[in-house]
Amino acid sequence: MTILLIIGIIIAAFIGVPLFLILGSATILGYFLAGEQLAGLFIEVYKIATTPIFMAIPLFIFAGYTMAESKTPQRLVDLSRALIGWLPGGIAVVALITCAFFTAFTGASGVTIIAMGGLLYPILLKEKYSEDFTLGILTTTGSLGLLFPPSLPLILYAVIAGNAYSSINGDPGVTVDKLFLAALLPGIILVVALSIYSIFIGNKIKVNKTPFNWGRLWTALKEAKYELPLPVIVIVGIYGGFFTASEAAAVSAIYVLIVEFFIYRDISIKKDLVRVIKESSVLAGGLMVIIGMAMAFTNYLVEREVPFMLVNIMKAHITSQTTFLMVLNVLLIVICMIDNFSAILVVVPLIIPVANEFGVNPLHLGVIFLINLEIGFLTPPIGLNVFISSYRFKKNFIEIFKATLPFYIILVICLLLITYIPWLTLCLQK
Amino acid sequence: MLSKSRDLLLRLERKLFVFEEWALVAGLVIMIVAGTMQVVLRNFFNTGVEWADILVRSLVLWVGFLGASLATRKAKHINIEIVSKIITNPTLAKIRLRTVLAISLALTITLLKIAIDYTIIEAGNNMYAFLRIPTWMVFIIVPISLFLIALRLLIELLLGEPIEKEVLSNNEVIPQ
């Protein structure tokens, strides 16, 4: 009977029952079998209202959506075009950088491909990039930027991992600000590697270049002058000790609200505010319920000592850290294909005890995990970016994946570098 | 008979939706303002409002669950989409959708029942979240949202489609 129910839940998940219900019912089943009080499920859900960092999720998503709805994408593209558009392949680098910025704020929820894709697609084609290259780069950039502050998956990872480490040895090991710092250089490496490839292609096919022009740069700078300080405010605020990472979300939200609704006035407070709040809350709410249920499910697994069993199984088959990291990467890409946020919530607490046993640094593990997420988004058959792109650009998803392949390979090479050279993640830590 | 009760449910949903929308907007705006206020008070005036942090955190639960019930309205809950992407036959697609809705409805009602039990337990605990607000009043949004989700799933099961259909936004069309 139990087996049947478990199979039933798995089938329900695959035919499309919302994940929060899947995680909720799995937890209820677990509690029921263990003879525990079912209401215990909601003790975990209530933690949403007692854990400070969760306020970052609805507020950063709101800030990201507001910018996506206003003319921020246009201003950012204009500015980076004036700045680096003169390079061979410069416009592709523009796409990489502006999309990374957007993904950092909206957490690879598809908003980047939807908001930036429509803008950059015609520009790239006009500059003589092939359609394959254009589709490939825009699909890839949909998750590029997960390593930069204030990326939501990164924040979420830090919270969940911090909890897991605390329960092992009393020290969280991972905090949001430490992980931001650890992920910075790897994030830059990914952007640089993809840029080098884009410049190389740009050179080969002799794409059109935008000539450099001081006047143009100055105009673009003036246009974007209210948006540019935002990342600086967030970073200086957090590392200068003025506010916490969760408060940074409130500051960003109010800043964006004032800038977009009152200064630029691209969107109107009367017509658009309620709509933007509703749309961003639908995404944030969809996430929050999954987070609540996943915390309950994880709690159940930990109570049943599942992580401990995993440690024993892994230790019986794997002896060295090098092999462990390799197995981990393969495993993670597969897991991350399914759903990024649930991957973090359910899988992280399970792998952390194992990684700890193999002596992997908590921050290093976090960065490896996040890069796997980026790649998972691109992996067929269920990588989210591939779907969003095929919907957005009205192309078959096999076509999209073929176009993405070169970028995919580059990301995998970067992943291996960052996995086996821990220094890249740890050099900025004090 | 069926269409009559369906219309009745739809009217009820509409009425509740208006309240929900305003609660959501108010909740998020208060979160933004109160959150920023704490930063300003601390950095410039070296003070802070003790209960404001807890108010903001409580609102996260409210905004989150209200957002989740709106997500049901638009059929935008996060799920694994592989099967729905593979199925192209319209009859099969319809069967899949109704099956998913029926299972979801049953699971939501189960969760709702447990959430009500938990609210009653909390109410008996006499604990305060902040000021004179007891914890069960913060938590009450969970059963409320689960009720709204169940109501919407029922309507969608009767309609065979989302209540609010996806409207493409203005910048959706790609210039060729």
The answer to whether residue B64 scores a pLDDT higher than 70 is yes
As beta bridge partners, residue B134 has B128
Residue B103 has pLDDT above 80, yes or no: yes
By the 10 Å C-beta count (0-12 exposed, 13-18 middle, 19+ buried), A188 is classed as: middle
pLDDT, residue A337, reads 66
DSSP for residue B126: T
Q: Which chain B residues are within 8 Å of A274, Cβ to Cβ?
A: 21, 25
pLDDT digits (tens, 9 = 90+) for A197-206: 999 988 888 7
Higher pLDDT, A299 or B57: B57
pLDDT for A259: 92
Show Cβ contacts of residue B119 under 8 Å, excluding neighbours closer than 6 positions: B136, B139, B140, B142, B143
**Rounded to an integer, what is the distance from CA A38 to the centroid of its chain?**
33
Q: Do B67 and A285 touch (CB under 8 A)?
A: yes
**In which residue are the tokens 């591939």 written?**
A386
CA B114 to chain A, closest CA, distance in angstroms equals 6
Taking residue A274's Cβ as centre, other Cβ atoms within 10 Å add up to 14
Give me the pLDDT at residue A381, please: 63
Kindly report whether the peptide bond that precedes residue A211 is cis, defined as omega within 30 degrees of 0.
no
State the pLDDT confidence band at B169, using cuts at 50, 70 and 90: very low
A45, A251, A257 ranked by CB distance to B39: nearest:
A251
Q: Which residue of B has its CA nearest to A391?
A: B172
With bands split at pLDDT 50, 70 and 90, how would you rate the model's confidence at B166?
A: low
Nearest to A338 among B31, B80, B175 (CB): B80
Instruction: Say how far apart CA A96 and CA A191 lie, in whole Å.
Output: 7
DSSP structural state of residue A242: S
Helices (H) and strands (E) in chain B, counts: 6, 2
Tens-digit pLDDT profile for residues A131-158: 999 999 999 988 888 898 888 889 888 9
Per DSSP, the residues of B53-122 read: HHHHHHHHHHHHHHHHHHHHHTT------HHHHH---HHHHHHHHHHHHHHHHHHHHHHHHHHHHHHHHH
Mean predicted confidence (pLDDT) in A149-170 = 84
Cα gap B176→A121, rounded to integer Å = 9
- Mutation pick from B61, B72, B86, B163 vs chain A, by most beta carbons of A within 10 Å, is B61
Does B108 contact A21 at a Cβ distance shorter than 8 Å? yes
Nearest of A184, A175, A157, A186 to residue A352 by alpha carbon = A157
Query: Mutation test of the interface with chain A: which of B36, B58, B81, choosing the one with the most A Cβ atoms within 10 A?
Result: B36
* A111 at interface of B, judged by CB pairs closer than 8 A: no
DSSP per-residue codes, A110-167:
SHHHHHHHHHHHHHHHHTT--HHHHHHHHHHHTTTTTTSTT-HHHHHHHHHHHHHHHH
pLDDT of B82 higher than 80: no
Average pLDDT score over residue span A112-139:
87
Determine the residue of chain B that is closest to A121 in CA distance. Answer: B174
Asked if B76's CB is within 8 angstroms of A282's CB, the reply is yes
What average pLDDT does the segment A178-203 reach? Answer: 92
Q: Does A175 touch chain B (CB under 8 A)?
A: no
In this predicted structure, what is the pLDDT of residue A127? Answer: 82
Cβ–Cβ contact B58 with A under 8 A: yes
Cβ of A28 and B114 within 8 Å?
yes
Among residues A312, A399, A300, which one has the least CA distance to residue A25? A300
Question: B-contacting residues of A 22-41, CB under 8 Å?
Answer: 24-25, 28, 38-39, 41
Beta carbons of B39 and A243 less than 8 angstroms apart: yes
- Cα(A119)–Cα(A377) distance, integer angstroms: 21
| CA B112 – CA B146 distance, rounded (Å) | 6
**Higher-confidence residue: A108 or B24?**
B24
Q: Each residue of A341-352: b (16+ CB within 10 Å) or e?
A: bbbbbbbbbbbb
CB atoms within 10 A of CB A319: 10
Supply the mean pLDDT for chain A. 87
A189 vs B119: CA distance, rounded Å: 49
Pairs of CB atoms within 8 A across A/B: 220
Test B85 with A243 for CB contact under 8 angstroms: no
Residue of A nearest to B120 (CA): A39
**Cβ neighbours of A49 in B, within 8 Å:** 57-58, 60-61, 129, 138-139
Alpha carbon A328 to its chain's center: 19
C-beta separation of A23 from A342 below 8 A: yes
* ipTM for this prediction: 0.90
What was the pLDDT predicted at A379?
80
Query: How far does Cα A203 stand from its chain's mean position?
Result: 31
Cα dihedral angle (B169, B31, B144, A32), rounded to 10 degrees?
100
At A333 the pLDDT is 77
Range with the poorest average pLDDT among A42-51, A129-138, B126-135: B126-135
Full-prediction pTM beyond 0.95?
Answer: no
Q: How far apart are CA A344 and CA A10, in angstroms?
A: 18
Which tokens sit at B75?
């059929």
Higher per-residue pLDDT: A376 or A196:
A196
Query: Which residues, in sequence order, are CB contacts of A6 under 8 Å at separation 6+?
Result: A29
Is B95 an 8 Å CB contact of chain A?
no
